[in-house]
Amino acid sequence: MLTINQTYNKYALPAKQNMYTGTIPVQNDTVQFKGRVGHEIIKSGKKNLTLIQETAFFREPKTLDYAVEYAKNKFADASKLRIIVGACSSGEEALSFKMLMNGKKAEILGFDAGESAIKQANRNIYQISIPKDKKNENYAKEMGIAAYRDSYLGFTDKLTKQEKKYQHLFNKMFEEIETPKQKVSFLDKFRNYLLEKMGRYPDIEIKSRTYKVKQPEKLNCKFMVGNIEQMDTFIPNGKAHILSFRNAFYHIMNEDLEQGERTPIPESILRPTLSNIAKQTNKILKKDGLFILGEHEDKQGSNMELLSEVLKESGFTEEVQRKNKYCNIWRKVSDL
Ligand SMILES: C[S@@+](CC[C@H](N)C(=O)[O-])C[C@H]1O[C@@H](n2cnc3c(N)ncnc32)[C@H](O)[C@@H]1O
């Protein structure tokens, strides 16, 4: 059996997506054009897939807090927790897990299908952004954009108790550095223009502050390109305490059409794909390990009824009460 470290180094891009990648927006050194609402376009066969890489620190805190507390208690005897964050985008979710460990040792692997997102994650440099004014803020809210919901980490004085706790953890891990001036190339502008035309991104004006991880060598957090459908090629069996794959199933359950539209993949084709993912998830988790989904996946266009059915067939049980018509935290009860 390979150790997790050997495994990380052994496998590179999953075959299906080892192709041209174009990035939207392309970054000039460390900075994204519009905060952390990035996109990346990859080729899959003859098709272009638009990966939406919107994310935020401490996104969906109830779920995060629940999973971390559960793992700390359930696996109290483990010398360290092993956490896999699939669809990690530029790394905010993985580092949120790390911060919430608050003393408990944890080894974290983040993977994402997007090469550019992983490059960004490996930089250990993040921006906290906030819409520039009320008008832009309302626009972001109306669009349901989650990327700026961590703006309190860098911009707000009046914090709730929970925000204070998160800001404290954030300041332990990060230090502020100068925000570089953002240059936007003609190509970036053109791509952003196209995305806006597709209704993908409104041109929200933001202001940002930039932070870097103080001691990256102590993070014990790795990022790699990987596809959840091929986890068995890069994650060892039976070692993980948590696998998170949040706010990404809509990429798997729908087919990208032109103009940014998506159409649901028929159940007969989708079921084997989900079944394959559920089986691999079962394999990489320890008994009683958790599989975590986002809190609003049904509203993002994912067939959560079907996924729930498949998870039940694959050795999982509902760990928390259903919200939004499905359960978003599942526990592995048996091997397959
Ligand atoms: C909206 S982001 C979610 C980020 C983070 N999990 C969160 O909840 O904030 C969706 C991510 O899923 C990734 N993704 C899509 N399909 C994937 C797949 N088959 N395997 C791994 N990552 C995938 C995309 O590249 C994108 O970064």
Average pLDDT score over residue span 207-214: 92
- At 171, list the tokens: 């300041």
C-alpha 77 to ligand 1 mean position (Å):
31
Q: Which residue has the higher pLDDT, 164 or 182?
A: 164
pLDDT for the residue numbered 142: 80
Q: What does the pLDDT average to over 73-93?
A: 97
pLDDT at 277: 98
Pocket of ligand 1 (CB under 6 A): 51-55, 59, 86-87, 89, 93, 112-114, 117, 227-229, 246-248, 251-252, 294
Closest C-alpha residue for ligand 1 atom 14: 87
Indicate if the pLDDT at residue 260 is higher than 50: yes
Q: What is the pLDDT of residues 29-78, one digit of tens each?
A: 333 334 456 667 787 777 778 788 889 999 999 999 999 999 999 999 99
How far CA 189 is from CA of 67, 68, 119, in Å, comes to 40, 40, 21
Closest C-alpha residue for ligand 1 atom 10 = 248
pLDDT at 202 > cutoff 80: no
pLDDT tier for residue 146 given thresholds of 50, 70 and 90: confident
Asked whether the predicted pLDDT for residue 273 surpasses 80, the reply is yes
Atom index in ligand 1 nearest the CA of residue 294 equals 8
pLDDT top residue among 14 and 235: 235
Tell me, what's the pLDDT at 138?
86
d(CA 309, CA 321): 16
pTM value is: 0.87
pLDDT average, residue stretch 195-215: 78
Nearest-5° Cα angle at 300, 296 to 301: 125
57 by Cβ neighbours in 10 Å (0-12 / 13-18 / 19+) ranks as: buried
> From the alpha carbon of 117, which atom of ligand 1 is closest?
27
More confident residue, 184 or 284: 284
Average pLDDT, the chain: 84
User: How far, in Å, is the centroid of ligand 1 from the Cα of 224?
Assistant: 13
CA distance 267 to 318: 22
Report how far ligand 1's centroid is from the alpha carbon of 251 (Å).
8
Query: Best of 18, 51, 63 to mutate for ligand 1, by most ligand atoms within 8 A of CB?
Result: 51
Domains belonging to the chain, first-starting first, are 4-332 (3.40.50.150)
- For residue 121, the CA-to-ligand 1 centroid distance in Å is 13
At CA 281, angle to CA 86 and CA 18, rounded to 5? Answer: 50
Residue 176's pLDDT is what? Answer: 96
- CA–centroid distance, 223 to ligand 1, in Å, is 13
